[in-house]
Amino acid sequence: MTTDFDAYERDLWAGRAPAYERGFARLTAYTVGPLLDAARVTEGTRTLDVGTGPGPVAREAVRRGAEVTAVDADPLMAETASRNVPGLDVRVATLPELPFPDETFDAVVGNFVINHVGEPDAALKELRRVLRPGGRLALTCWRMPGSGALGVVGEALDAVGVPWPDDIPTPPFMEHGEPAAFRALVAGAGFADAAMDELDWTHTADPEYWWETGPQAAVGTNGVIVQRQTPETIARVKAAYDRIMAGYAVGNGQVELPAHALLAHGTR
């Protein structure tokens, strides 16, 4: 079933793969190792990478010797993953409907994808369906409310007084972006020994490059909101962004942005 939020997400990411790969994907790369470790992905593990994006999780799983299949809802993301991971079995598919038989995989992983679906409960049931008994699930999401690396552009929009547009739906996952709620969501979908790890790291970036590959490229909802504004308002948002980024400066034109994520895992 496609919800209004799912339809919004398809439009949001259409054509954004190149900018996402150059920018935000570098931030999310930190969690790839912990994600695969939690799913116990090693040599020979039949692994499904859901929401593969440009393919960093699939690439590392292949490096570990796993048998990897990947899916993404956006055709250009899937194409990018195929280019980055030669020989990868990658398909276009959208949760909560996956084109695989029951009990196909030993491990299912998703790096910051569960927060991009309209029905998280239904998505988790589908991920459980394609796992074999005893198979492992591991999912990351951003800790809410967003701050640091995730929240800078939103803070700048707030500082300028730009309101949330009426036509952009609120993400259904917002209520699950804290440890107890995310763990409960996974446990409620039927996963045994559901557990939660908190991941904190620092992302070093050039603030101008971060702006170019994010808001300027309309990547993510905040980027879309920025690009809807008049040139005068965009200039005010950019000035606010610069002031906020200055608080994270470490010299040589670089900033260090704190990032906070959650890693939920369990067994079918």
Q: Report the percentage of the chain scoring pLDDT > 70.
A: 99
Check whether 109 has a pLDDT greater than 70: yes
Q: Is 116 buried (19+), middle (13-18) or exposed (0-12) by CB count in 10 A? A: buried
Distance CA 77, CA 83 (A): 10
Cβ contact 65:93 at 8 Å: no
Q: Please say if the pLDDT value at position 100 is more than 60.
A: yes
What is the reported pLDDT for 146? Answer: 75
What was the pLDDT predicted at 1?
A: 53
Task: Return the CATH number at 43.
Answer: 3.40.50.150
Domain membership of residue 132 (yes or no) is yes
Closest CA to 39 of 104, 89, 105, 91: 105
Q: What separation in angstroms does the CA of 188 have from each of 35, 141, 233?
A: 20, 17, 44
pLDDT at 172: 86
223 belongs to a structural domain: no
Domain contains 207: no
Task: Report the pLDDT averaged over residues 220-240.
Answer: 97
CB 3 within 8 A of CB 94: no
Q: Is the pLDDT of residue 80 over 70?
A: yes
DSSP codes joined into one string, 36-105: HHHTT--TT-EEEEET-TTSHHHHHHHHTT-EEEEEESSHHHHHHHHHHSTT-EEEE-BTTB-SS-TT-E
- Domain-embedded: residue 225: no
The residue range of the domain holding 31 is 4-144+169-202+259-267
pLDDT digits (tens, 9 = 90+) for 60-72: 999 999 999 999 9
Residue 99 in any domain: the answer is yes
Per-residue pLDDT at 2: 60
- Distance between CA atoms of residues 201 and 210, nearest Å: 17
How many structural domains comprise the chain?
1
- Residue 233 has φ and ψ, to the nearest 5°, of -70, -40
Q: Is the pLDDT of residue 3 over 90?
A: no
**Alpha-carbon Rg of the chain, whole angstroms?**
18
Task: Give percent of the chain with pLDDT exceeding 90.
Answer: 93
Residue 17, CB half-sphere, CA atoms under 13 Å: how many?
22
Q: How many CB atoms are closer than 10 A to CB 235? A: 12
The pLDDT confidence band at residue 122, using thresholds 50, 70 and 90, is very high
pLDDT at 171 (0 to 100): 86
Task: Give the pLDDT band of residue 154 (cuts 50, 70, 90).
Answer: very high
**144 pLDDT higher than 90:** no
Write down the pLDDT at residue 170: 86
